[in-house]
């Protein structure tokens, strides 16, 4: 069994130190559990804060954020998907998810491919899109990495399973305008949940989304509902709107048996 800890919270906009300490405190609540993988949300260290993302980026090794989480990985003997941070490469900025092993070493990073430039989103005006997909061979499973708006593009997940992904994670900051009507928000959440289930079942993987919740800027509400979904569509955990970790023991044999029976990676 693989012990998965998935964090959902409301970061303080632009305050990396506060947000990193919050991550550490949430993980500490589960120090008695088997921790094989911890997943953090998109923008977890800054909130949805353009100023912090543009003006206070990290270097290609993840800067202070990844250095802090490297120590956390070693302390708790766990692998970590470090949500996303602003990574500066020469004159470009990427929205990047770093992957750390139990020794706190960077063993992969994924630069978000599908940037959110729709319905008022402007991510592509200051962020460059990545080009490469990522599947990392961790010590308990092969894990594919995506980020937030990638969930709308199933062909990306097709490539991840072709490369052997058994778990796919998606750090996210899935949000809606605060001015939206309740009915719109209800539909928005149902659509999000449906996409989680679809991405799991079509790929026969455990699909894990780690989302922000609450307001980190006045005009947006992050919808929470971080999920851990099984390969046949069972929702194992759904965090709702709460600031909370969710934990699950995943049986990797289930994925491996299913992939042996239904060769989804080979079907076009």
pTM for the full predicted model:
0.96
Q: Look up tokens 């990638």; give the residue.
A: 150
pLDDT of residue 266: 67
pLDDT of residue 101: 98
Instruction: Give a yes or no: residue 266 inside a domain.
Output: no
pLDDT tens-digit profile of 90-149?
A: 999 999 999 999 999 999 999 999 998 776 677 878 899 999 999 999 999 999 999 999
- Domain with residue 172: its CATH number is 3.60.110.10
Instruction: Give a yes or no: residue 267 inside a domain.
Output: no
Domain count within the chain: 1
pLDDT tens-digit profile of 174-212?
A: 999 999 999 999 999 999 999 999 999 999 999 999 999
* b/e code 104-132 from CB counts within 10 Å (16+ = b): beeebbbbbbbbbeeeeeebeeebbebee
Range of the domain at 147: 2-261
Instruction: Give a yes or no: residue 268 inside a domain.
Output: no
d(CA 48, CA 64) in angstroms, rounded, equals 18
């Amino acid at each position: 069994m693989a012990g998965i800890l998935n964090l959902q919270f409301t970061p303080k906009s632009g305050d990396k130190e506060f947000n990193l300490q919050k991550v550490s405190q949430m993980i500490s609540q589960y120090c008695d559990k088997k921790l094989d993988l911890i997943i953090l949300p998109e923008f977890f260290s800054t909130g949805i804060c353009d100023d912090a993302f543009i003006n206070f980026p990290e270097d290609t090794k993840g800067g202070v954020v990844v250095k802090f989480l490297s120590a956390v990985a070693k302390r708790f003997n766990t692998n970590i998907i470090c949500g996303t941070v602003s990574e500066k490469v020469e004159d470009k900025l990427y929205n990047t998810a770093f992957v750390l092993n139990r020794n706190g070493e960077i063993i992969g990073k994924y630069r978000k491919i599908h940037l959110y430039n729709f319905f008022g989103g402007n991510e592509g005006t200051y962020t460059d899109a990545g080009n490469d997909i990522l599947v990392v061979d961790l010590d308990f499973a092969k894990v594919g990495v995506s980020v937030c708006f990638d969930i709308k593009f199933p062909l990306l997940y097709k490539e991840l399973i072709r490369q052997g992904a058994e778990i796919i994670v998606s750090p996210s900051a899935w949000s809606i305008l605060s001015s939206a009507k309740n009915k719109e928000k209800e539909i928005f959440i149902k659509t999000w949940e449906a996409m989680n289930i679809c991405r799991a079942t079509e790929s026969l993987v455990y699909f894990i989304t780690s989302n922000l919740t609450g307001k980190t800027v006045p005009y947006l509400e992050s919808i929470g509902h971080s999920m851990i979904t099984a390969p046949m569509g069972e929702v194992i955990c759904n965090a709702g709107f709460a600031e909370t970790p969710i934990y699950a023991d995943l049986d990797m044999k289930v994925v491996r048996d299913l992939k042996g029976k239904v060769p989804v990676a080979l079907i076009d």
